[in-house]
Each structure stands twice: as C-alpha cells, then as structure tokens.
Chains A and B, each alone.
Chain A
C-alpha cells in the first residue's frame, strides 16, 4: 500500500510546547556515532550514526523504533554508561562524553532512570529501594526519611513502604522505580522501555503518572519505546529511529500525522483508519468508470476533527457522502481522524468538494473508484 498524504494541505497548528529551537535545551546530541567492536575480528558494528537530536527543556520527548534500532544505546549515552565513538552529548550544557567515570557520578545523580524490568533490589523494601540513591549520594538517615515518604506518597504507594518487590505487582514495582528515580531530585528522567513489561491498563496509569510528574515538577522526560501507544499518549516531541539513524523528528502530532518516512508508516500501521477494509480494496479500481463512486480518504487534524465538515458537503454542495471506514484517535492530546468516504458525483464536483475540505483545513486524497 502506497499512500501519499498531502502534507501541505495541513493547517499549521499553534505550538504549545517549546520547539527544537527553544533556547537552552536539556539534552543535545551533536553528530553522535557509536560503533561497537564485533568479536575479535576487528570489524565494527555501527549502532548509531549521525545522531542530531534535541530534547527541549520541560518536554516529554519520545524516541521510537523497532528493537535493534539503537534506542538503548542512545539512552545509555545520555548518562555516560556508554561513550560515543564521535560527536558530543550535552546534558544541561555539560558534555557527557568528556567526563571520566568519577566526574560522571554527580551528573548521574541528576539524571533519574527507570527501566523495563524495574531493576529493584529484591533484598530491600519499597522504602529501602527509594532510599538507595540517597544513600549513594551520602545523605543522612533522617533526611532520607524526610525525602522518601513524600515520594512514596506521590506514586501512591505509601502503604506499601515495608513491602518487598516480590510482594508488589508490575505496576507497583514501576511506581517504586519512578519514586527511586525521582529521589535525588533529578533534572532529567530517562525511561528505558518503562512500560514494555506492563499490561495496557497499567501502562496507561504509569504514563499518566509520568505526565503528572512532567507537569508538576517540570521534569524533562526522555523515553525510548517501541510502542506507538506510549509516544502517542505522552510525548510532545518524537524522534523516529531506524537502523541507527534518526529518520524523523519533531512535534509528535506533526510527525505522526504527516508520516512521510517508511519506518514511521510501519510504526503507525496499527493506527486507526490507515488500512482500507478488504471489501473496498477487492472491488476498487484506480481509474474512474462511468457511474462509479469516488473513494476519498479525508484526514482530520487537531481542532478540525471536531467540525462537521462531511455533513456540510451534503448541505452546502449537495454531494451525497457515504462513510465506508475510519476512526478518530488522539495523538499528543489532539484529535486525529481518518475517514474513508465514497462520493457519488462527477469529477468537477469531487474537485470542488476537495477544495472545500482543504479550505477548512482537511486534507484528502482519492484512493480509488468503485462501481
């Protein structure tokens, strides 16, 4: 299936969140590459290449890609667990690649990390796990007590404070992981597939918690995931990574509704309305025949998705509209819909209808004709 979405018909939407050009970003990747030695042969595997990425301060930025795309390496570069082969990584203005292990430690204390498999110490209670980074930072027992209690409260697990991880559910473990990551009051939170081991409902509650933390604490969140759902719900900005390269990046809504790159399209495959139903494709032709109906895909973005444009096609232009398939979804908090409709009319009228839609900010494309 080869679809061309008419990008230029999309209305430019107001930017609510700081864009890539916002001053003083939290994380900047400048021409970063990472190569690993492959075995003892001297050969090298390129994990990341030519990475230029900006994580705006205060944003939730998602990096999405298939497994093996280089996501994990990318996130490990941010806290210096991995050194780049070339390029610079600036975290709050400090070049991470230039720091040795000892000087990295204080920087790492200012970066919280949450993990796919939680990585909680089984030998410590919920309280003890949240206290660990504070002990590492050399904080006294009384101060730790003062710091941990409100964190357990924030993640809604005050009553589990003396439970061991084995007594907690996956979602509760991740909440403890989040409280632990926040313990040192970091300026940046890294999330390494934090919801990939959780069921959809728990995923939603964890994402809501991350959102809340982002909003209330003003914490910048950089998350990597292979789940479209995660990025769609939580990320303001997104970068699509494939084969060690960033193939697209920008505000989430624009990237996913303008999806030009094949990888983005593949990731979007599950999004409502992208696939035409079988009953249509089986009897659709690419050329109009006398008496055939035109199949049009209409794309609603943002606020336009709520306007009754199709009804007005009928009332204003007198074109009969029949809805064949479609759905309305939400990306980064904004509605995004796709409807496949059939119109019985002549070509002139169809052109007029498309012009009418474009005038109201809806893009459309003719996907075929059925008799």
Chain B
C-alpha cells in the first residue's frame, strides 16, 4: 500500500474523529437537558408540562424516523445557514448533530426514568428544589445509564459519519466507498473496516468501564 494511500487513511480517520467528537459533544450538550425534560415533564411530574412534553416527543419521533441520509440532504439550507457552506467535513457536523440530539434525548430519558421514583420523593421530602432534584438525584443516579447512552451515541455516530461522504464530508466511510468500492481497492476497504472496528471497540470498552465504575448498585467485593 503506497504512502499516499496511508496518508489518505490517516486523514480520513482524523475527519471521522473530528466529526464524531464535535457532533457528539454538541449533540450531548443539547440532548441531555432535553432528555431530562422529557423524563420530568409528564403529568404530575417535577416540571409538569404534559402538552410541551407531547409536542417535543412528536418532533423527536419525527426526527428519529427520518433516515439519516435523507436528513442530510433535507436540511441543506439550514446547514448552509449554520456552517456557511453545505459541503465539507465541518458542514457535515450540522446534520450529524441534528441527528444526535433526539437520539441522546431518548436514551437519557430512559436512563432517568429508571431512577427509583422513591428517590425523587425522598428528595422532595427533604425540601429539595426541582433543580436540586435533577442535579443531586436524577443525574447522579442515572450516571451509569447516561454513560452507556453516550457510548451508544458515539458508536452510532461513527456509523452515521460514514454516510456524510454524500455531501463531501469525507471520513473513513467516504474513503471506503470511493477507493475501496469505486476504484476497487479491496485492501483500502479492508483497512477502513478494520480501523472502524478498532474505533468502535475502543469507544465501547472505555464506555463500559466508565459505566461500571459509576454503577454502585451492586458491586461484589
């Protein structure tokens, strides 16, 4: 394999990591609060706003049921507005982030709903404010679940990032399609797949280790 090809692979890996990191970070920063809101705004809950909850839920469902590749082209005007261009790696971050927000929100909602309602009740009985309950009880107790949720998000993002070649986003998936498939270079394809597998493995085992560390629910000694 020529040095050129190796340089391409390194560059593509860098692009994938860049897209995943930025989209993952912004998506989580927006998705986690949204997930908390979804989990606490139902009827009779901490921030009860059943109608807002329903509307948000519907929008999230719509976003999540749109195939990612369609989302990418459908929001091109928005991408141009945000990134100044609709082509390139940075532009690709916009649809990746948009897809990440509802994904994270739903997973975080699930993680928070798994927190024993008795703990919220106990905190209320202690005179905690709703925000104190969110930070000191819900987020603290859901930390292992949220860690697993974010791990899953990053793994999924690595997959999604392979599709943004369609708008010139670059990255490993794009490299695999253009060189491995269209130019019929099976060795490039193999390297791309191996690099992706290694990335996913690393993310998954790091996430699992972190989640285990946070989880104090039952740890045999």
Interface residues of B in 100-125 (CB under 8 A from A): 116, 118-119, 121-125
The answer to whether A109 touches B118, judged by C-beta atoms less than 8 angstroms apart, is: no
The answer to whether A121 touches B217, judged by C-beta atoms less than 8 angstroms apart, is: no
User: A78 vs B140: C-alpha distance in the bound complex, in angstroms?
Assistant: 28
A111 contacts the other chain (CB 8 A): yes
Contact A136 B132, CB 8 Å, known A106-B127, A121-B119, A124-B140 = yes
Interface residues of A in 120-144 (CB under 8 A from B): 121-124, 132-133, 135-137
CB distance from B25 to the nearest CB of A (A): 24
The answer to whether A81 touches B216, judged by C-beta atoms less than 8 angstroms apart, is: no
Mark each residue of chain B from 119 to 138: 1 if its CB lies under 8 Å from any CB of chain A, else 0: 10111111111001000110
The answer to whether A81 touches B140, judged by C-beta atoms less than 8 angstroms apart, is: no
User: A124 vs B221: C-alpha distance in the bound complex, in angstroms?
Assistant: 17
The answer to whether B121 touches A108, judged by C-beta atoms less than 8 angstroms apart, is: no
Could you say which of B125, B129, B216, B219 contacts A113, with CB atoms under 8 Å apart? B125
B56 contacts the other chain (CB 8 A): no
User: Most chain-B CB neighbours within 10 Å: which of A117, A122, A166?
Assistant: A122
User: A137 vs B178: C-alpha distance in the bound complex, in angstroms?
Assistant: 61
Give the chain A neighbours of B124 by CB distance below 8 A: 81, 108
Could you say which of A108, A115, A137, A166 contacts B218, with CB atoms under 8 Å apart? A166
- Shortest Cβ distance from A128 into B: residue: B140
- Shortest Cβ distance from B214 into A: residue: A123
Mark each residue of chain A from 101 to 118: 1 if its CB lies under 8 Å from any CB of chain B, else 0: 000111111010101010
Query: How many residues of B are in contact with the other chain, CB < 8 A?
Result: 24
Contact A109 B126, CB 8 Å, known A121-B119, A123-B216, A136-B132 = yes
Chief secondary structure at chain B's binding surface: helix
User: A190 vs B166: C-alpha distance in the bound complex, in angstroms?
Assistant: 63
CB distance from B147 to the nearest CB of A (A): 12
User: Most chain-B CB neighbours within 10 Å: which of A109, A115, A124, A136?
Assistant: A136
Interface residues of B in 124-164 (CB under 8 A from A): 124-129, 132, 136-137, 140-141, 143
- Shortest Cβ distance from B132 into A: residue: A136
Mark each residue of chain A from 165 to 179: 1 if its CB lies under 8 Å from any CB of chain B, else 0: 111000000000000
Contact A122 B127, CB 8 Å, known A81-B121, A166-B218 = no
Could you say which of A111, A164, A166 contacts B125, with CB atoms under 8 Å apart? A111
The answer to whether A184 touches B122, judged by C-beta atoms less than 8 angstroms apart, is: no
- Shortest Cβ distance from A122 into B: residue: B217
User: A61 vs B137: C-alpha distance in the bound complex, in angstroms?
Assistant: 31
CB distance from B213 to the nearest CB of A (A): 11
The answer to whether B127 touches A109, judged by C-beta atoms less than 8 angstroms apart, is: yes
User: A70 vs B129: C-alpha distance in the bound complex, in angstroms?
Assistant: 27
User: A79 vs B123: C-alpha distance in the bound complex, in angstroms?
Assistant: 12
A119 contacts the other chain (CB 8 A): yes
- Shortest Cβ distance from B129 into A: residue: A105
The answer to whether B122 touches A119, judged by C-beta atoms less than 8 angstroms apart, is: yes
Give the chain B neighbours of A117 by CB distance below 8 A: 116, 118
User: A132 vs B127: C-alpha distance in the bound complex, in angstroms?
Assistant: 11
The answer to whether A108 touches B118, judged by C-beta atoms less than 8 angstroms apart, is: no
The answer to whether B136 touches A136, judged by C-beta atoms less than 8 angstroms apart, is: yes
Give the chain B neighbours of A105 by CB distance below 8 A: 127-129
The answer to whether A115 touches B127, judged by C-beta atoms less than 8 angstroms apart, is: no
The answer to whether A121 touches B126, judged by C-beta atoms less than 8 angstroms apart, is: no
User: A119 vs B219: C-alpha distance in the bound complex, in angstroms?
Assistant: 18
The answer to whether B126 touches A123, judged by C-beta atoms less than 8 angstroms apart, is: no
Give the chain A neighbours of B137 by CB distance below 8 A: 121
The 7 closest A-B pairs by CB, nearest first: A108-B127, A119-B122, A105-B127, A109-B127, A164-B216, A133-B126, A119-B118
Chosen A-B contacts, 24 in total, with CB atoms closer than 8 Å, are A81-B121, A105-B129, A108-B124, A108-B127, A113-B122, A113-B125, A113-B126, A115-B122, A119-B118, A119-B121, A121-B119, A121-B137, A122-B216, A123-B216, A132-B126, A133-B127, A135-B136, A136-B123, A136-B126, A136-B127, A136-B129, A136-B136, A166-B216, A190-B125
- Extra 6 A-B pairs, beta carbons < 8 Å, given A136-B126, A136-B129: A115-B122, A119-B116, A122-B217, A135-B136, A166-B218, A184-B126
